[in-house]
Amino acid sequence: MKKQIFNPFLPLDEYVPDGEAHVFGDRVYLYGSHDAEGGERFCMGDYVVYGAPIDDLSDWRKEGVSYKKEQDPRSQNGKLVDYYAPDCVRGEDGRFYLYYVAMGPAVTPFGPISVAVSSHPEGPFAYYGDVHYPDGHPVLKYGNNDPAVLNDEGRIHLYYGWGFTRDFRNPFLRPLYDRILAKLYARSLSEIRSTKPSITACAHLELEKDMLTAKGEPVAVLPSKTTAPKGSLFYAHPFYEAPSIRKFGDRYYLVYSSGVDNALVYAVSSEPDRGFEFGGVLISSSGLGYQGNREAKYPAGTIHGCVEAIGNNYYVFYHRCTHNTDFSRQACAERIHRNDDGSFEEVRPTTQGLNPSPLLVEGSYPAEICCELYSPKRMRLGNGHQEDSPNIVCRHNERFIHAIGDQTWIGYRDFAWNKPNALVLRLRGSEGDVEVHSAQGMVVGSAHFSDSRAWENCRVSLTPSEGNHPLFLHFRSRGKIDLISFSFEEGSR
């Protein structure tokens, strides 16, 4: 790599969640939604595309705005649609097709799946049409959300859907459940009741080579909580949203969000439209469930991502939440191991991310690249209204960790420790103490800091530590603290 890289791997003022990474030629391109920094709802921006050489994943470049909201025909009279999670595929004609759903304030939810087209993977894209039946009517069966698409040697497979994380099969609750679904999907009660096994399933639809026309009817391929057999692996991790499809070898891998433990999981089948079996968990953005952990290590909400083969390695792309909301999400990625039997090993969020080795213990780092951020107080996303929880914010063009309270832990994984002399924290806020750990329970330094309204340096002398370890900061204070950066000092004592 030309340079060191860390999570989140795009510029720190950029918010591209729901990432779908695809290799086209000698570059990998990242397609996703586009949140606003400190935004008030999902997906407030136009689509943008980032790309990097497949042999240097540190060199991400913004390819530009790929598709503007005003280009969708549903944007009219100054009211713009919001573009939700997209996916991109190369058609048999060599062009690139961007699948998306227009939602937000200007349109009815769960409308048609739309398509834009370009001669280049990075765009710009132009509106092409909506997915429809041969008679021209739009395909609206199941919940049109989060499209994922695969060109399987000329066969075009489209997946989409949205579900609930609760089991509503109880006959006494079913009428209420149906009315709720009818309102959410803007569909009639008869349509809700006639869609089998449930409108909340993940659906598959094969398309003609025009990339728009349906071949037959959509079919359900993954169950929601209400239709999964009780006690099954799908009942523990049912389909919720965020499908993403890949084919590795002769097997189809359908990645999705289960809505459980902020987990991105996957199912596997030898057929594209049936027979999927639960494969396992890929990653939890909050750390829940990893190696049996039952405490959230990072504030998290939605999760959406993919697995992509780049060069000789596999990577899982996902997003993290900032600003104490689910509306300002940033792209992250981890290398993930695929076993000989085709299964994937679960990984945890790291700061190291796409970097092939642990980060260097030298120079300065922005504090907001932490992969763990938690305190004993239960963390709940407050959509901008819960200021007492530690969270990552941008204020007056400064990005930092805000509202660090008593017993807050901030973690960075991993660093190649080589006996740094000191760690310098740049912070402000209430008086307190900080411990530095090279692993939890392994204290390598501590310091006291005073009240300050301005950014001040707090120098922590470190005892020798060597090897690849995380960096943890453990704070104790009666008030609140902000942390904007940290740096390492090296040299003899």
- Set 87, 241, 346, 372: catalytic member: 241
Q: In this structure, are residues 334 and 21 in contact, taking their beta carbons and an 8 Å threshold?
A: no
Residue among 401, 438, 396 at smallest CA distance from 299:
401
Write a three-state SS string for the chain: CCCCCCCCCCCCCCCCCCCEEEEECCEEEEECCCCCCCCCCCCCCCEEEEEEECCCCCCCEEEEEEECHHHCCCCECCECCEECCCEEEECCCCCEEEEEEEECCCCCCCCCEEEEEECCCCCCCEEEEECECCCCCECCCCCCCCCEEEEECCEEEEEEECCCCCCCCCCCCHHHHHHHHHHHHCCCHHHHHHCCCCCCCEEEEEECCCCCEEEEEEEEEECCCCCCCCCCHHHHCCCCEEEEEEEECCEEEEEEECCCCCEEEEEEECCCCCCCEEEEEEEECCCCCHHHCCCCCCCCCCCCCEEEEECCEEEEEEEEECCCCCCCEEEEEEEECECCCCCECCCCCCCCCCCCCCEECCEEEEHHHCCEEECCCCCCCCCCCCCCCCEEEEECCEEEEEEECCCCEEEEEEEEEECCCEEEEEEEECCEEEEEEEECCEEEEEEEECCEEEEEEEEEECCCCEEEEEEEEEEEECCCEEEEEEEEECCCC
Mark whether 241 is an active-site residue. yes
Residue among 63, 243, 265 at smallest CA distance from 163:
243
- Set 14, 18, 35, 368: catalytic member: 18
Mark whether 18 is an active-site residue. yes
Cα dihedral sign, 287-292-294-295: negative
Active site residues: 18, 241
